[in-house]
């Protein structure tokens, strides 16, 4: 049984259907990428899994638990954590205050001190900056803070929405190295990413979304060699 399974999920915004018949699977400890153009439905997919949007049809099952009807806080407490596009750190709060806010769920609150020490060992730049306001960090440092804040919630499945957005190539490379290391610590990753080369290089499996549907799926290295995907997303 996969850690997460979506089976024929449909999601509407009012009368407009955004996701149609979407089925994906993520195994424990896996890295799965979802790629596609802007407006393909990728962020809507994450919002449906997080409970921020309710599917009109289909099932979302996490570790044998049906997520339909659960609140977002209940879903987070199961171990599903989303790192949003654009980082969304709290600018007037310090780095440490941002991190502590990440550990609000029941399963994370009791381990907050222990997790914070692990974060500071894992990402020492954040320890150096812990008393700085988040607003004073560089874009790359803010992305690290957003990732670390998500890790404070002790995710079993970490959903990342465009983690390279707005970052220089050298910083993007470092962010993806850190994501790989997070996965090596046993956390499954669902990655939404516009940088298709980095996404497919990192992931084991991938799905291609077009107009709210799954247009292709397979092993990431196979999709990376697919001529249609090369032309559509890599400009090759």
Q: What is the pTM of this model?
A: 0.92
Determine the pLDDT at residue 11: 95
Q: Once rounded to an integer, what is the mean pLDDT over residues 50-74?
A: 94
Higher pLDDT, 146 or 15: 146
Number of domains in the chain: 1
Residue 236 has pLDDT above 60, yes or no: no
Whole-number percent of the chain with pLDDT over 90: 79
Determine the pLDDT at residue 199: 93
Q: Is 116 left (phi over 0), alpha (psi -120 to 50) or beta?
A: alpha
Confidence at 73, pLDDT banded by 50, 70, 90: very high
Q: Once rounded to an integer, what is the mean pLDDT over residues 53-61?
A: 94
Tokens of 105: 């769920």
Confidence at 76, pLDDT banded by 50, 70, 90: very high
The CA distance from 143 to 149, in Å, is 10
- 188-220 tens-digit pLDDT: 999 999 888 899 999 999 999 999 999 999 999
Residue 117 has pLDDT above 70, yes or no: yes
Tokens of 11: 């999601």
Q: What is the largest CA-CA distance in the chain?
A: 50
Residue ranges making up the domain that contains 13: 4-234
Find out whether 83 and 163 touch, Cβ atoms under 8 Å: yes
79 backbone dihedrals φ, ψ, rounded to 5°: 115, 15
Whole-number percent of the chain with pLDDT over 70: 99
HSE-up (13 A, CA, CB side) for residue 101: 14
Determine the pLDDT at residue 25: 97
SS3 per-residue string spanning the chain: CCCEEEEEEEEEECCEEEEEEEEEEECCCCEEEEECCCCCCHHHHHHHHHCCCCCCEEEEEECCEECCCCCHHHHHHHCEEEECCCCCCCCCCEHHHHHHHCCCCHHHHCCHHHHHHHHHHHCHHHHHCCCCEHHHCCHHHHHHHHHHHHHCCCCCEEEEECCCCCCCHHHHHHHHHHHHHHHHCCCEEEEECCCHHHHHHHCCEEEEEECCEEEEEEEHHHHHCCHHHHHHHHCC
Closest Cα to residue 83, out of 187, 202, 200?
187
Q: What is the distance of C-alpha 141 from the center of its chain? A: 17
- Residue 219's CB is within 10 A of a number of other CB atoms, namely 13
Residue 174, domain CATH: 3.40.50.300
Determine the pLDDT at residue 81: 96
């Amino acid at each position: 049984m996969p850690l997460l399974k979506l089976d024929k999920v449909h999601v509407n915004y009012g009368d407009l259907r955004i996701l149609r018949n979407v089925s994906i699977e993520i195994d424990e400890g896996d890295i799965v990428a979802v790629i596609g153009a802007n407006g393909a439905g990728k962020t809507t997919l994450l919002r449906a899994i997080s409970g921020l949007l309710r599917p009109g049809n289909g099932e979302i099952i996490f570790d044998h638990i049906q997520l339909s009807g659960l609140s977002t806080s209940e879903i987070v407490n199961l171990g599903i954590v989303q790192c949003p596009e654009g980082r969304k750190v709290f600018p007037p709060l310090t780095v440490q205050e941002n991190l502590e806010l990440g550990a609000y769920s029941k399963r994370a609150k009791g381990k907050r001190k222990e997790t914070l020490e692990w974060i500071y060992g894992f990402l020492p730049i954040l320890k150096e900056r812990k008393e700085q306001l988040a607003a004073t960090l560089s874009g790359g440092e803010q992305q690290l803070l957003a990732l670390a804040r998500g890790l404070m919630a002790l995710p079993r499945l970490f959903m990342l929405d465009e983690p390279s957005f707005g970052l220089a190539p050298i910083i993007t490379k470092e962010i993806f190295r850190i994501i790989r290391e997070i996965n090596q610590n046993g956390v499954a990753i669902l990655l939404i990413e516009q940088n298709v080369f980095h996404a497919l290089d990192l992931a084991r499996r991938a799905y291609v979304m077009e107009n709210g549907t799954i247009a292709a799926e397979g092993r990431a290295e196979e999709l990376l060699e697919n001529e249609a995907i090369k032309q559509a997303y890599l400009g090759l």
